[in-house]
Structure formats: C-alpha cells, structure tokens
Amino acid sequence: MTLAQYEQISNYAVASATVILGLAFIAYVAQWGFARNVAPDHALVEAGGSTSKPAGPAEEADRSDVAGGIGLSLTGLAWLVLLAGVIARGLSAQRVPWGNMYEFGCAGILVVLSAYLVLVRVWGIDWVGPIITGFGMVVLGLSALVWVPPGPLVPALHSYWLVIHVLGAMIAGSAFLVGAAASILFLLKSRAERITPVDEQVGFLWRIPPSAVIDKVAYRVHAFAFPIWTFAALIAGPIWAQYAWGKYWGWDPKEVWAFITWVVYACYLHARATAGWKGRNAAIIALIGFGCFLFNFIGVNLFIPGLHSYAK
Amino acid sequence: MTNAVPALGQREFTRWFWRQLTSMRTALFLLLLLAITAVPGSLYPQRSVDPRNVEAYFIEHPKSAPVLDKLGFFSVYTSPWFSAVYLLLLVSLVGCILPRSFVYLRALRARPPKAPKNFSRLPASASFETEASVDDVLKAGRRTLGRARVDTVTEGDVGELRAEKGFLREAGNLVFHISVVVVLLGVAFGTLFGYRGTAIVAEGQGFSNTLAQYDDFGSGSLFNTDKLPPFSMTLDKFTARFQLTGPQRGAPRAFEATGRYTPTPSSAERPFDITVNHPLKINGTSVYLVGQGYAPVIKVTDAQGHVAFDDAVPFLPTDPSYTSTGVVKVPDAKPEQLGFQGFFLPTAVAGKDGVAISAFPAAANPHLGLFVWHGDLGLDTGLSQSVYVLDKAKMKQYMGSDGKGFPVSLNEGQTQKLPGGGTIQYVKTLQFVRFQFSSSPLVKVPLFGVAAGVLGLILSLSIKPRRTWIRARREGSRTVVEVAVLDRVPRDDLPADLDDFLQRFRESLGETQETTQ
Ligand code: HEM
C-alpha cells in the first residue's frame, strides 16, 4: 500500500471512530435517561408490590441496562476503529503517530478508551462511560480542526525521549481524565446522598456505587497517574529538553503548566490525607488539576507562544 | 525574673510558628500558592526565556510594563514572592521530613499493637466458628497473612495474632519528600555555578570560549567568568536539508554542523559533528545547535579603491522561508564610513506586487537587497552597539534618481557601483550556525533525585499499610474466631478485601462455612 492510501485509511478510520463514539455517548445518555424513575434495587420495588410505581420501573431498568450495554459495545468498536486509524497514521507518516496536535488528540483518545475498557473489566467503572465517551467525541472532533497531512518531524523532535515523554503524558492524562470523571460523579453522588430523602432515591445516580467507592476509584487512578506524570513531565521532558535546547528546564509556558499540573495533583494527594479536605475539597482540587492538564494540552499550544508551540 | 516571661512567650511563639509551618495544612496551602504564583510566568514574557519579547511588551504597553516589571512579572521565577513561597515550602518540607524520619525509625523496631477489645467497633471485622483448635487457627492465620510482621500471644484459652505490614509505604513517602529537597538543591547548585551563552559562527570561522566572543551570555552568581574552560572550535561545514515536495514543503528535516575543536590549548585538534538533539561535550560544557541562517560574503571597495570590507555577514532569519535581515558596517571606508541595511532571500522569486520574496529556505537563488547610508557609524562613542542594528543618527541615505532610497540588488557573484564611488560585491553564500554553550555542574543530581523520587512515590502510593488482628477463643467444642483489619493510609474505612482474606484463611483451615460480619 502507498503512504497516501494509509493516510486515506487513517482519515476514514478516525472520522468513523468519532461517529461511533458519538453513538456510544448517546447510548450512555439513554442509559442515564431510562433510569430516571428507577430505584437503586428495582427487585425491592417489585417485592414490596409497590402500587405507586407499577411495572414501569422494572422495564425501564432493563431498558437502561440494554442501553448501557450498547454504549459499552460501541465504545469497544470505536476503540478498534481508532486503533486502526492511529496505526495507519503511523504507517503513512513512517514514525510514531504522535508528533503534532492532531495526532496527540487521536492517540490520546485511543489511550483514554483503552484505559476505560480495561478499568471497566477490572473495577466495573462503566458508570463513567457518558463522560469518557462524550469527552472523547469532542476531542476527536476538535482534532479534525487541526488536521495536518502526515509527514516527517522537524529535527528538534527527532528523539526517542519524545516518544517516551509523549506516551507517558498521554497515559497519565488518560488516567487523569478517568479520575476527573470519577471526581465529578463523586461530587454529584455525595451531594445526592446528603440531600435526598430515602423514598426519592431514584435515577441513575442511585444505580452507581456509593460515593465512598467512587472516591476510592478516583484515588486509585490518580495514584496510578501521578508517578507516570512525574516521570513524563519531570524526567523524560527535561532529559529531552537537555538534548534539544541544552536546558533541562527553561520555564517555557508548556513546562510551567506541566509543573502547575503536577503541583495541583500533589495537592490533591495531600488533601486526601488532611482532615477537613478529603472528600469534596480533594475532588475539587482533582478537577482543577485536570483543568490545568487540559489547558496545557490545548490552551498553551494555541494561545501562548513558546518553544513547544511548534508541535501544533 | 521579669524578663523570663516574654522570653518564654517568644519561644512558645517560635514553637507554635514552627508547628504551623510544618503542618499538613500549611504544606497544602503552600503547594496551592506555588501553583498559583507560577501562572503569571506563562502569561507574561520572561527575561530568562526571551528578553526580546519583554522589550516588545514594553513597547506595546508603555504604561503597564514598568509597573509589572517592578512587581517581578517579567522574571517570575526569580522574583521575591515566588522565591518566598518555595523557600517556605522547602523549610516546611525539611521540618516535616525530620520528625517523620525519627518516628519511622522507631516504628521499624516496634511490635504490632495489641488488639482492641471490641472488634465490631473497627471499620471492618468478621467472625466465624470452627472445629479447629485455637492453635491451629493461629497457625492458619499466620500462613494466610504471608509477609507481615506478626506477634502471637496466647493467654489461657484465648489466642491472639497481631499483624502489621506495609512499612515500605512510609519509607517510599520519605524517600520521595527527601528527593524533592535533593532536586531543589541540585538545581540551585547547577544554576549558581553554571553558565550559558550563544554565539553565531559562520562556515570557515572559529570560536574560542571567551566572554568577548558571545552574542549573549549569562552565568550563575557563583560562577567566575575568568574560568571559562579554554576550548576553541572551527565550523567547517553546515548542512541543512528541507522537505522538497508535498504539503510540508520547506519544513526542516535535518541540520548538521561539522568541524574541528581543541578541548584545551595544549591538546590536539579533534573533529566534531553536532546535530539537533546531539550536542558536543567539551570539558563539562555542552555545545548545542540551536539556530542557523545565511551569511553572505560581502566585499566593499571604497571610493579610494581600497578593499574596506571582506567578510561573511550573518543575516537573521525572520520567517520559515529564511527571509533574513541584516546590517553591514564598513568603518574603514574612506572618505566616509558606509553602512548597509537590508534583506537576504535564499530562494528569491517575484512576489505579487513585484517585491521579491523567498519561496524556499534552501539557497537555490540567493539574492541580496540593501540600502546604503554614509557618514558616521557612531562606533567611537564608547557605547557598545548591536552588530544587527545600524545607528543612523549621524548617517545619510544615498537616494536614487526616483527620490527613493538607492537600491543595491545583487545575485551571487555580482558587483554593483555605489553612488558615492566604490563597489559592493556579493562574493558567495555561506551559512552560519547559532551555537549554545552551556554548563550546569552536577546536572545528574536533579536527574537521579527525580528518579529516586518516582520510585519512592510508586512505593508510597501502591503499598497499603494494614493492621490485622485475629482472636481465637475456645467455647466448648468449638473455636470462635474474630478477625479485624485496619487500613491506615489511604484511610479506607472499608477494606474491600477482608472477604478475600477470610476465604483464604478458612481454606487454609479446611473450612468453607458462612462467616458473619
Ligand atoms: C514540595 C513539596 C511537597 C510535595 C511535592 C509533596 C508531595 C506529596 C505527594 C505526591 C504525596 C503523596 C504520596 C502519598 O500519598 O503517600 C505526599 C504525601 C505526604 N506529604 Fe507531601 N509533598 C510536599 C511537601 C510536604 C510537606 C511540607 C509536608 C509536611 C507537612 C508533607 C507531608 C506529607 C505527608 C504526611 C504525606 C502522606 C500522606 C498520606 O498519609 O497519604 N508533604 N506528598
């Protein structure tokens, strides 16, 4: 196959993956919507022969489950198609497929979906599905706006430290995203647990695990991501910079925001161990951390000039 | 006696202040503050990153720039307020590490604590009954606990197992926090004793490592500029390759500088080959290729027929097609000094409005366009002058017959007559390289510091310190077994794997019955 054919395959695959992920998102939203009137354990409602809520909720619960299943399957399909797209991109550019912003977007979302699918198997976290698929769809869609034809890299990017640095950042970022999604659901769920009377506990929020479990998931993914981020941003990045610019740390805007992200996540880990800060405040700090990560990925590339902005 | 009271107060205050400074809450606050104070440095141009952007900011915002400058917004990372935050954090960190290290050393020798009386008060506990004897239960418990520190205590017909594991967590955490200190000290050392500068060297030219040869230079406050390592180098050839076809036409593909260097005045000459990402190391100084461009060789003959200038002149690129600008100063021209200012196009083509532009970064059709000034270059004022700027205060431009500036327009090899007599010749095209020379001693210290820190972090974040107690009491023909676990950090209230532990425990006892939690 020629390089141009690979390029074409890659473009089609990424576009299809975006659409499939959009459908997955819709299925997940439907899962949420169908569960509007469903109590946490619909078996109880039936057993009590509840007259106020006739057969409806049980059926709705089933429908919600089916929608969730479809969402998960579509996410798996999107992963497969996107994998093909990213590999074809690498083949057509004849290098690792993460050398500019478009490619970061595609490869990044591929890693996000991989992380999500693995974690669904391990910890059953399909409840973050709506956030993950929605986010993935938006990022893939926006990546299309910064599409560039595949091609070799400028000399400063010729380094295997780039491969390691970017891969590390993408893995950490994916875990940060899962952590942020869990933190959002933690905030919603813990608030709901505080203010909702028992007989009004219906809807999707009551079909996901209790806030304590969500909090634990959030902590675990952050605890996984933080050392990787430390490695990618504070070891691999500086080593590469030392080779490329003779300066392992130059307070370039990209470096500044990588550092800020790191400090904010260190704050999160501290907050979890500080009385009065764990729970709500810690979750908010985790979300701020993810905001910094995103700003570094998008905002700094587009709005702030610096050595890194040529990686657009 | 009357003096003692305030003295005590002061000591108490000091102790109180120290306790505040080293508390977890303060650490949290200082970390957040550090993140916030780092932000302006990414929004405002920084002197240490690019001083030219700072100058541009002063020109664009003449009112606010001086105020921002006073507040340190153009050198955030050396400003008093940023330094204050990280120094406080450093003190807090040390004040935090020291006591924790002692506590840890003591904990290493301590035995697991006694079981609490009432297990059901603990966040996770369970109990079951078995036929097995107390002794067998304790033995099975010991097996199931694996590599934990375990004490077995038997009193009458009650046996108790106290187990504690996960000591490496705190060790990892301490290693991590200590490595933060090591990294900061390593970075500070490298900065204080390091230097960095750049110099432009054209093909065929040399560079020797003295202050005068640098275009810009900066060094740490403890670096002695008389002690620059005495190496020298000559650039023989620079090769640049650009993408020739496709949508990325003109994008740089490879840069390579080759030449010879002598590490010390007494040593023999050696060849070098520097590419982007592959610096040359000379006695602790690394030489990087950080920029490149064209240096046309220009020969000026003055009105009296003397060759007043014959040298390569670097023209600084201003766009990806290497449209470059530059200045030629000819102080030796008689009767008046001459100055030229203009542009260089590596691949000149006619643009839309007739103005020539560069279509490609390689020198396929090099062209030089200059305007000419005569008079006094102002080099004798004693003030140092940039070689890239023409001081026209005491100079007059030669004008053409159309009333516009007299244009010099040369292709490679061409010569043109100057209005005041004499000629200018564009002899040939050389390339120049901008080298960066930098040395930061002990650069490996921060590197190994962070590496140790990451390993510490992984231990600290993956190991669960856990206390487990098993109590077995003989009641008639059966043994009542109670189990409780307590996870210490992260302060998990409900260890999820208690069930799993119980299952393995009971399998080890040969049991499969129900457990009540
Ligand atoms: C440069 C400053 C600091 C950074 C980057 C930092 C970073 C971290 C990180 C990433 C953790 C998570 C590891 C874990 O949970 O085991 C942590 C934990 C911890 N830090 Fe810091 N820290 C800093 C300063 C301090 C200071 C000043 C204190 C003293 C109060 C402190 C006390 C602790 C403690 C006690 C833990 C264990 C938390 C737990 O129980 O999980 N840290 N730190």
DSSP character for A232?
A: I
Interface of B with A in 109-148 (CB under 8 A): none
- Asked if B447 reaches chain A (Cβ–Cβ under 8 Å), the answer is yes
Q: Averaged over A125-145, what is the pLDDT?
A: 93
Rounded distance between C-alpha atoms, residue B369 and residue B355, angstroms? 11
CA angle B331, B334, B336 (to 5 degrees): 70
**For ligand 1, is residue B183 a contact (CB within 6 Å)?**
no
Q: Is the pLDDT of residue A306 over 70?
A: no
Cβ B412 vs Cβ B428: under 8 Å: yes
> Which of A227, A240, A242 lies closest to B457 in CB terms?
A227
Token digits for B17? 């202040």
Chain B residues with CB-CB distance to A242 below 8 A: 443
Contact pairs from chain A to chain B, CB under 8 Å: 137
- Specify the residue with its C-alpha closest to ligand 1, atom 12: A269
- Asked if A252 reaches chain B (Cβ–Cβ under 8 Å), the answer is yes
- H or E element in which residue B337 lies: strand B337-345
Rounded distance between C-alpha atoms, residue A132 and residue A113, angstroms? 8
> Which of A226, A256, A271 lies closest to B38 in CB terms?
A256
State residue B154's pLDDT score. Answer: 85
Q: Contact B446/A248, CB-based, under 8 Å?
A: yes
Q: How confident is the model at residue B165 (pLDDT cuts 50, 70, 90)?
A: confident
State residue A130's pLDDT score. Answer: 94
- Specify the residue with its C-alpha closest to ligand 1, atom 20: A270
Chain A residues with CB-CB distance to B451 below 8 A: 235
Q: What percent of chain A has pLDDT over 90?
A: 54
Residue A101 phi/psi, 5-degree rounding, is -65, -40
Q: Is the pLDDT of residue B262 over 90?
A: yes
Q: Contact B48/A274, CB-based, under 8 Å?
A: no
Residue B332 phi/psi, 5-degree rounding, is -85, 0
- Distance in Å, alpha carbon of A10 to nearest chain B alpha carbon: 17
State residue B27's pLDDT score. Answer: 87
Q: How confident is the model at residue B280 (pLDDT cuts 50, 70, 90)?
A: very high
Interface of A with B in 271-290 (CB under 8 A): 271-274, 276-278
Chain B residues with CB-CB distance to A273 below 8 A: 24, 489-491
> Which of A148, A155, A248 lies closest to B276 in CB terms?
A155
State residue A304's pLDDT score. Answer: 66
- Asked if B188 reaches chain A (Cβ–Cβ under 8 Å), the answer is no
State residue B474's pLDDT score. Answer: 86
DSSP character for A295?
A: I
Token digits for B132? 């097995």
pLDDT tens-digit series, residues B187-231: 888 888 889 888 999 999 999 999 888 988 888 888 888 888 999
State residue A282's pLDDT score. Answer: 93
- Asked if A158 reaches chain B (Cβ–Cβ under 8 Å), the answer is yes
State residue A46's pLDDT score. Answer: 43
Name the average pLDDT for chain A: 86
Q: Which of A48-62, B245-259, B418-432 has the lowest mean pLDDT?
A: A48-62
Whole-prediction pTM: 0.84
Q: What percent of chain A has pLDDT over 70?
A: 91
Q: Which of A40-49, A279-288, B237-246, B306-315 has the lowest mean pLDDT?
A: A40-49
In a 3-state reduction of DSSP, which class is residue B495? coil
- Specify the residue with its C-alpha closest to ligand 1, atom 35: B24
> Which of A149, A252, A276 lies closest to B49 in CB terms?
A252
Q: Which of A42-46, B31-35, B249-253, B268-272 has the lowest mean pLDDT?
A: A42-46
In B115-251, at which residue ranges do the beta strands (DSSP E only) sit?
124-130, 149-155, 158-165, 195-202, 206-208, 216-219, 232-242
Cα A303 to chain centroid, rounded: 23
User: CA-based diameter of chain B, in Å?
Assistant: 126
Which numbered atom of ligand 1 lies nearest the CA of B23? Answer: 30
CA angle A13, A294, A184 (to 5 degrees): 95
Q: What percent of chain B has pLDDT over 90?
A: 32
Residue with tokens 């780039």: A162
- Asked if A312 reaches chain B (Cβ–Cβ under 8 Å), the answer is no
List, in sequence order, every residue forming a beta bridge with B316; answer none if it has no partner: B325
pLDDT tens-digit series, residues B443-499: 889 999 999 999 999 999 888 888 889 998 888 888 888 888 888 765 555 666 788
Q: How confident is the model at residue A176 (pLDDT cuts 50, 70, 90)?
A: very high
Residue B193 phi/psi, 5-degree rounding, is -105, 10
Q: Averaged over A302-307, what is the pLDDT?
A: 61
State residue B53's pLDDT score. Answer: 80
Rounded distance between C-alpha atoms, residue A161 and residue A163, angstroms? 5
- Asked if B427 reaches chain A (Cβ–Cβ under 8 Å), the answer is no
Q: Contact A151/B251, CB-based, under 8 Å?
A: yes
Q: How confident is the model at residue A227 (pLDDT cuts 50, 70, 90)?
A: very high
Domain ranges in chain B? Answer: 10-106, 123-166+464-509, 195-380+388-439
Distance B177 CA to ligand 1 centre (A): 7
Residue with tokens 């239960």: B137
CA angle A136, A141, A143 (to 5 degrees): 95
**For ligand 1, is residue B179 a contact (CB within 6 Å)?**
no
Q: Averaged over B413-432, what is the pLDDT?
A: 92
Q: Contact B246/A151, CB-based, under 8 Å?
A: yes
Cβ B497 vs Cβ B484: under 8 Å: no
Q: How confident is the model at residue B2 (pLDDT cuts 50, 70, 90)?
A: very low
Name the average pLDDT for chain B: 86
Q: Averaged over B312-339, what is the pLDDT?
A: 89
Q: Averaged over B129-149, what is the pLDDT?
A: 84
Q: How confident is the model at residue B389 (pLDDT cuts 50, 70, 90)?
A: confident
Cβ B230 vs Cβ B200: under 8 Å: no
pLDDT tens-digit series, residues B19-31: 777 788 888 889 8
Among A55, A208, A46, A26, smallest CA distance to A127 is for: A208
**For ligand 1, is residue A66 a contact (CB within 6 Å)?**
no
Q: Is the pLDDT of residue A44 over 60?
A: no
CB burial of residue A274 (10 Å; 0-12, 13-18, 19+): middle
Chain A residues with CB-CB distance to B491 below 8 A: 273, 278
Cβ B438 vs Cβ B282: under 8 Å: no
Among B25, B36, B463, smallest CA distance to A278 is for: B25
Q: What percent of chain B has pLDDT over 70?
A: 95
Q: How confident is the model at residue A163 (pLDDT cuts 50, 70, 90)?
A: confident
Q: Is the pLDDT of residue A312 over 70?
A: no
Chain B residues with CB-CB distance to A238 below 8 A: 446-447, 450
Q: How confident is the model at residue B403 (pLDDT cuts 50, 70, 90)?
A: confident
> Which of B77, B196, B243 lies closest to A251 in CB terms?
B77
Q: Contact A260/B38, CB-based, under 8 Å?
A: yes
Q: Terminus-to-terminus CA distance in chain B, angstroms?
A: 63
Token digits for B472? 């077995």
Domain ranges in chain A? Answer: 1-105+113-152, 153-312
Tell me how crowded residue B222 is: count the other CB atoms within 10 A of its CB: 10
- Distance in Å, alpha carbon of B365 to nearest chain A alpha carbon: 23
- H or E element in which residue A221 lies: helix A211-231
- Distance in Å, alpha carbon of A311 to nearest chain B alpha carbon: 13
Q: How confident is the model at residue A207 (pLDDT cuts 50, 70, 90)?
A: confident
CATH tag, B123-166+464-509: 3.30.310.80
For B198, the closest chain A residue by CA position comes to A246
Among A84, A138, A92, A73, smallest CA distance to A110 is for: A84
Q: Averaged over B312-325, what is the pLDDT?
A: 89
Q: Averaged over B77-106, what is the pLDDT?
A: 90
Q: Is the pLDDT of residue B8 over 80?
A: no
Interface of B with A in 150-169 (CB under 8 A): none
Q: Is the pLDDT of residue B411 over 70?
A: yes
- Asked if B27 reaches chain A (Cβ–Cβ under 8 Å), the answer is yes
Rounded distance between C-alpha atoms, residue B301 and residue A174, angstroms? 66
Token digits for B2? 């009357």
- pLDDT higher at B279 or A156: B279
Token digits for B198? 């750049």
Q: Averaged over B418-443, what is the pLDDT?
A: 90
Q: Averaged over A56-81, what is the pLDDT?
A: 88
State residue A169's pLDDT score. Answer: 94
- Asked if A116 reaches chain B (Cβ–Cβ under 8 Å), the answer is no
Q: Averaged over A152-159, what is the pLDDT?
A: 75
**For ligand 1, is residue A275 a contact (CB within 6 Å)?**
no
State residue B140's pLDDT score. Answer: 87
